[in-house]
Amino acid sequence: MSTAAGGPADAGPNGRPLRVLTFTTLFPNAERPGFGVFVENRLRKLVASGAVEARVVAPVPWFPLRSSAFGRYATLARVPAREVRHGIEVHHPRYLAIPKIGTGVAPRLLAVGALAPLKAISGAGFEPDLIDAHYFYPDGVAAVRLAAALGKPVTITARGTDLNLIADRPGPRRRIQWAAANADGLITVCRALKDKLVALGVEAERVRVLRNGVDLDLFRPVEREEARRRFGIEGPTLVSVGYLIARKGHDLTIRALGALSDAVSLVIAGEGPERRQLEALARSLGLGTRVRFLGNVAHEALPALYSAAEAMVLASSREGWANVLLEAMACGTPVVATNIWGTPEVVTAPAAGRLADARTPQAIAAAITALLADPPDRAATRAYAEGFDWRATTEGQIALFREILARRAAARPAAGGYRAGVMAGARIPS
């Protein structure tokens, strides 16, 4: 199998496919199959090109007890040490994570926990050509240290909160700047995140924007009446999909619902620490019968949920590249979203939906009202999403990886050898 960027025959050294080791704490596992699924999806498309072979090291925080009484910590304890997902071998080494106070030392602890497993993978016959890290902090910072220790080139992909929130703190900002300066390749999933890296002192030409795509085979329109029966939906319905945390803005969507016709209802898919507060908010506003919480919905069931709704609403305060927007559009469902970070790069035409003028319940309600009054043709919405498949992103990754390996080969005879600068400065700054 080949791509426009070239097939496996000319992908890596000696004519074999590139060997890429993905390093990230954002990756699905048997206990949390939806966690970081956007990283897995990108990797699956990359491997499907035939130009890349991959292994994944996705560390999880260490916790000694598996009893459900310990909540999410017990869930972490139950994650298997090794699993195979979609034909890709995934390792989950443990590392020491110190809640609340451990931010400053997190990259060091992550690197310490992952070094031996990375060496073991190399020793077992998978010698990576390159380490591909996702999420800048602590993952990307740790990955630069690990790459230096192993003598491998490294890329880092910025995905959102890592730059638009964590980088605002002085300590993490210094470490992010150090990692960016020493990485061989830098990727962001939207232009807004590239601008953030440039503001941190990174040369613009060093940053590639490779946006996320959408799986057009999985996310496609489902017959609406069948989908509505499946979820017990009647009448005009909005859907909101995402972790139940403050930055997702579910409270704003609930408040916006109160300004809409009584005929309109809201279905929220997802779990999280704010569920009880959100349920209480809906009751306090007299919306208890119009807001329904589904809890976690399997990834494979989301196309039917999107297809059943008139619109998908996302009221986030921060998003790098919100995959749920493209997922809904691919099912023919337009979106209403807040005008923040990478979202204006996703919603660029009437067929996609509407951006709220402000991140307030009133502005969100106004955008929903306008969309419901003049909805785009659902086939046009699907056609819009078809412009966001994974092909360009896959080709962009392969091209970048090849460039990095070519530079490495050219630099090898030079004084000090390849990565001499990184090796000299491989100590993570305080």
* Dist. CA 233–CA 387, nearest whole Å: 30
pLDDT at residue 264, rounded to an integer: 97
Domain parsing of the chain, residue ranges? 8-213+390-424, 224-387
Q: Contact 161/196 with Cβ under 8 angstroms?
A: no
Weakest-pLDDT range from 23-27, 82-86, 213-217, 401-405:
213-217
Whole-angstrom CA distances from 251 to 3, 107, 211, 266, 300 are 44, 33, 28, 12, 26
User: How far apart, in Å, are the Cα atoms of 132 and each of 50, 103, 318?
Assistant: 17, 22, 24
Confidence class for position 98, pLDDT limits 50, 70, 90: confident
Looking at residue 415, its pLDDT comes to 42
- Tell me how far apart the alpha carbons of residues 6 and 319 are, in angstroms, rounded to a whole number: 32
More confident residue, 70 or 120: 120
Label residue 335 by pLDDT band (50, 70, 90): very high
Per residue in 339-348, pLDDT (tens digit) is: 988 899 999 9
Q: Tell me what the mean pLDDT of segment 347-363 comes to.
A: 97
Domain 224-387 in CATH 3.40.50.920? The answer is no
Residue 170 or 6, more confident: 170
Q: Minimum mean pLDDT among 104-113, 136-145, 415-424: which range?
A: 415-424
30-74: pLDDT as tens digits: 999 888 888 999 999 999 999 999 999 999 999 888 777 777 788
Does pLDDT of 396 surpass 80? yes
Distance CA(326)–CA(176), nearest Å, equals 29
Higher-pLDDT residue of 342 and 258 is: 258
Contact 142, 165 (CB under 8 A): no
Q: Is the pLDDT of residue 312 over 70?
A: yes
- Residue 422's pLDDT band (boundaries 50, 70, 90)? very low
Domains 8-213+390-424 and 224-387 share a fold: yes
Q: What kind of fold does domain 8-213+390-424 have according to CATH?
A: Rossmann fold (3.40.50)
Phi first, then psi: give them for residue 88, nearest 5 degrees: -110, 130
Token code pair at residue 140: 């990307």
Per residue in 234-244, pLDDT (tens digit) is: 999 999 999 99
pTM confidence score? 0.82
149 and 115 Cβ atoms separated by less than 8 Å: yes
Size of the chain in residues: 430
* H-type alpha helices, 263-376: 275-284, 302-308, 323-330, 343-346, 361-373
